[in-house]
Amino acid sequence: MKQNSKKIVIVGGGIAGLCAAVYALKCGYQVEVLEMHDMAGGLAMSWCRGPYTFETCLHWLVGSSPNGEFHAQWQEVFDIERLTFVNLEEFVRIEAESGDGLSIYTNVDRLETELLRRAPQDAVAIRDLTRSIRSLGKFRMLDPSGGLAGNWLNMLRDLPVFPLLGKLSKMSGKDYGSRFADPLLKSFFSTGDVGRLSAIAMVLSLAWMNTGNAGYCIGGSQAMIRLIEEKLSELGGKIRFKARVERILVENDTAVGVQLSGGETVMGDWVISAADGHATIFDLLEGKYVDAATRKMYDEKELFASYLQISLGVALDLKHLPPMSTYVLESPVLLDPGNEIKHIGFRFFHFDPTFAPLGKTAVTSVLPTRNFKYWTALRDNNLAAYRAEKRRIADVVIALLERRVPGVRGAVEIVDVSTPATVFRYTGNWKGTMEGWLVEPGAGFKPLPNTLPGLKGFVMAGQWVMPGGGLPSGPMTARPAVKAICKHDHVPFDVHSEHVEKPEPVAV
Ligand SMILES: Cc1cc2nc3c(=O)[nH]c(=O)nc-3n(C[C@H](O)[C@H](O)[C@H](O)COP(=O)(O)OP(=O)(O)OC[C@H]3O[C@@H](n4cnc5c(N)ncnc54)[C@H](O)[C@@H]3O)c2cc1C
């Protein structure tokens, strides 16, 4: 076995921490992952209540198609072929209270027909949209660990779409939506964080859906997390749960290990933090290794919102409903102080048979909020009021659903509400954000530096070094983190072959 004697301690067992572990193990390092929760996944999470499973994360996974962009990188970290993907025909249906509805189909031809039928006055903008979806379908993301040498072929292939990419990256979703006169089409691009994001995010996602490369895997995000965990233990790695790191230990400006909340120390030759960026830099390292640019980033840059998730176990077969619906509300609803919602989204998980018994459906609604402090303070200072607020919001959500799906109220047998305080307790993400840095128009998806000035023996991975986050940010940031360590240690970065000691065949 080409194992080297060096050990990497990894803080956080979300997708990035797990991927970093697999890459490091493949390069022969000893690895110990320390995860504060009692299971792996971080934001890539679902939970069981009675016979229902409620997914929080997975809508689509870029790289789901065997021929698609990013599939090969998933193969480096787990056996993605063991997942079963479904490519839903309808991505989302947007419905006004009047009953007027617009379907966003994943197939671009069908989408074009639907949009032209509905909004012939927007024909020019619609054709421009569908042309963009078609041209971006083959777009190849650059490998952040590849440099020019590793990326020149992709850059050459992508050359024809660079002007389009440039144009869409500079525009916000809201600006993009303003090209359409149709109110529902406009609202598809402009609602919530989609409206603040660079328009490229949504158009590229539609492009990958059209090529079948942004499927949903049965079992949700935990199905893939379990397979990566399996790969990790197959390669001899160790993951410890309920192991909260309180401090990164530093000697002579070199990270030498970590201290857990109980006082135990875990030493290593390298520390990779795949945990929350703010906590890593300002708490675990006490803000000692931070330059002005990083401080400015954390002081000023916009994050994706946090969210409440209302999850309902419904004793009805809801297959007649689209997998995801957004209802435009005639009168806004107060979610939390100063925050009224004008749209509400529902996911009806009838397409995942592992989430509810036959004839029943797991239903979720994610309500974005930036009132993180309100929720954490309420939970800390007045648990009874916090619970009452959760109940109030669940009642509002059920009432809104009842307006669209008459009779559903009587069939709700499980109600579960998570808040930004829950997101923070279980993942440690700063301000309870759902994906880290929001990619604003003009900002681009360029990764952030994964080291800190003046600190050796330390690298970061995960959504805090890859604006836009998402599951692919796990391997995309874990790969360069481990590659940099290998380069420093003069260890070959060979992640295709697995450095697992195969037992010698025994002669009989
Ligand atoms: C509602 C929602 C929908 C989403 N939809 C999609 C989607 O459809 N497709 C997609 O690709 N992505 C989606 N995402 C984004 C995706 O889930 C995240 O970007 C990604 O999972 C982030 O992974 P990560 O490993 O960087 O961070 P995290 O998942 O936050 O992992 C960090 C881990 O570190 C642990 N940790 C933190 N502090 C400590 C400590 N001190 N000691 C030990 N452990 C610690 C945490 O418990 C956690 O397990 C969605 C996210 C949300 C919330």
DSSP state of 505: P
Q: Classify domain 7-47+221-301+435-489 by CATH architecture.
A: 3-Layer(bba) Sandwich (3.50)
- Span 222-248, average pLDDT: 98
Angle between helices 383-404 and 372-381 (to 10 degrees): 130
Of all protein residues, the one whose alpha carbon is nearest to atom 2 of ligand 1 is: 57
Tokens of 344: 């509400």
Q: Where are the domains of the chain?
A: 7-47+221-301+435-489, 102-211, 306-431
Asked if the model's pLDDT at residue 25 lies above 90, the reply is yes
**Closest to 63 in 3D by CA, of 277, 276, 214, 195:** 214
Q: Give the number of the atom of ligand 1 that is nearest the alpha carbon of residue 60.
A: 8
Question: In the chain, what is the straight-line distance between the N-terminal and C-terminal CA atoms, in Å?
Answer: 24
For residue 349, give the nearest of 357, 361, 360, 358 by alpha carbon: 361
By most ligand atoms within 8 Å of CB, the mutation choice from 216, 272, 435, 459 for ligand 1 is 435
Ligand 1 close to Cβ of residue 35 (< 6 A): yes
Q: Which residues contact 27 (CB under 8 A, 6 or more apart)?
A: 482, 486, 491, 492, 493, 494, 495, 499
Rounded mean pLDDT of 239-247? 98
User: For residue 331, which of 396, 382, 282 has the smallest C-alpha distance?
Assistant: 396
The pLDDT mean for the chain works out to 93
E strand segments, 261-305: 265-267, 270-273
387-408 tens-digit pLDDT: 999 999 999 999 999 999 999 9
135 three-class SS: helix
pLDDT in tens, 132-159: 999 998 777 766 666 666 666 776 677 7
From the CA of 472, give the closest atom in ligand 1: 11
pLDDT for 5:
87
Q: What pLDDT score does 273 carry?
A: 98
Closest CA to 29 of 483, 359, 424: 483
